[in-house]
A = this chain, B = another copy of it.
Amino acid sequence: MKEKKSKRDLILETAYRLFMEKGFWDTKIIDISDAAGIGKGTVYEYFDSKDTIILELFKTKVADPYKDLSLLIDKEISCETKIKEYIEFEVFNTTKFGSNKNMLADILIKSDIFHNQVLVDEIHKLIAYKLKIMHSIIKEGIEKGEFLDVDPLLTATCIMGAVNSFISFNYNTIGPSCFINIEKSEVWDLGELYKILFSGLKK
């Protein structure tokens, strides 16, 4: 495993680009070496396997930038500002790769899932359908004076994200592996979720 920067980086960048474009499974080693203008064997001079490449990309492109995020906790600013800074950081971090690029999400969502565009289209159709309903409800609520004057689509998007996340963590899809060192009451109450969505965080 050589460490010479340029060639290793060339492979990494090429792999990254192809993974983003075609997905991990649709990108073959030969695709990477061809696109990089090098021999297939050269890829293996720098990486043990295809798995090592995606792992390295994840670590450097995705995970590493978060390293100092925890410094945020001890900053002398209000918690509201902390959350705002967190979000700004997250937005910067996941969009810095270029317009419309969120590496992890992209690779996951791209062709990789099922090599099946028809299915991907169906999934998007469902999301669109749900979004439209939620959007319509919020719009109505605003018009009727029931809700604050927020952007209805943005809000629909956020609520859907919050709910999906709530479900995934609450009903263990993602697994308790993500709750390291944090105590979680057995099953969360929907009432708590509503509280946040309707009243927000601030006192």
On A, residues with C-beta under 8 Å from B are 24-25, 51, 54-55, 58-59, 62-63, 66, 69-70, 72-73, 78-80, 82-84, 86-88, 90-91, 94-95, 99-102, 104-106, 108-109, 112-116, 118-119, 121-138, 140-141, 144-148, 150-151, 153-155, 157-175, 177-185, 188-190, 192-203
Contact = CB atoms under 8 A, between A and B. Distances in A.
A203 B122 contact: no
Given A73-B133, A133-B69, A168-B105, A150 B195 contact: yes
Contacts of A144: 79
A178 to B, nearest CB: 4
B164 A119 contact: no
Contacts of A134: 83, 86
22 contacts: A51-B116, A55-B118, A63-B125, A66-B129, A69-B130, A70-B133, A86-B134, A90-B163, A91-B163, A91-B171, A95-B167, A124-B177, A146-B202, A146-B203, A147-B201, A148-B203, A150-B201, A151-B185, A157-B166, A161-B166, A162-B162, A196-B200
Interface SS majority for chain A: helix
Contacts of A91: 163, 167, 171, 190
Give the number of copies in the complex: 4
Given A127-B178, A164-B161, A171 B95 contact: yes
A160 B167 contact: no
A123 to B, nearest CB: 7
A190 B58 contact: no
Given A119-B54, A133-B72, A146-B79, A175 B126 contact: no
